[in-house]
Amino acid sequence: MDGSQEIGLQKNSSAERDFQEPVRLKERLDRLLREAAQVAVELSRADGTIKGVPHYSLIEGQAHELGQQLSRELQQRQMNEVVASQALTAKCPACGTRCELEPRKRKVTSVDGETGLQELAGYCPCCRRDFFPSPRSLGF
Ligand SMILES: [Zn+2]
């Protein structure tokens, strides 16, 4: 009886930790974004990009540039997670042979500029050609 209560308590406390995780991560993200903004201000003053009383468009342009940089970083990391979660083999779309997949980096022009994203690509020895697997060919 005591043992099952302990297990029950452990389950509750781990469920509570999972519930708190998004809150902690959101707070950390907010803190890091505020810090990044502060560092960007200090950098622009230190390197002379912005001095005195600048035209507001200069401030806005610098802010937008930092936002785009963050967007490209986020896109890269999200694609790395997608690649890491996918199966390592897929059927060739032409002949159906199951082939090994390997991560490859590809340059992509996103709305926030050029960035290098990872994606899985296969090589079919029967067809002697590369292919990019569709989600269906991964066997999900
Ligand atoms: Zn093939």
Q: What separation in Å is there between the alpha carbon of 96 and the centre of ligand 1?
A: 6
Tokens encoding 50: 């912005």
Mean pLDDT, rounded, for 100-105: 92
Q: What separation in Å is there between the alpha carbon of 124 and the centre of ligand 1?
A: 5
E strand residue ranges, 6-112: 89-91, 98-110
Q: pLDDT, tens digit, for every residue of 117-129?
A: 999 999 999 999 9
Alpha helices in 47-115 (DSSP H): 56-85
Distance 132 CA to ligand 1 centre (A): 12
What is the spatial distance between Cα 118 and Cα 79, in angstroms, rounded to a whole number?
6
State the distance from the centre of ligand 1 to the C-alpha of 91, rounded, in angstroms: 8
- Span from the CA of 11 to the centroid of ligand 1 (angstroms): 48
61-77 pLDDT, tens per residue?
Answer: 999 999 999 999 999 99
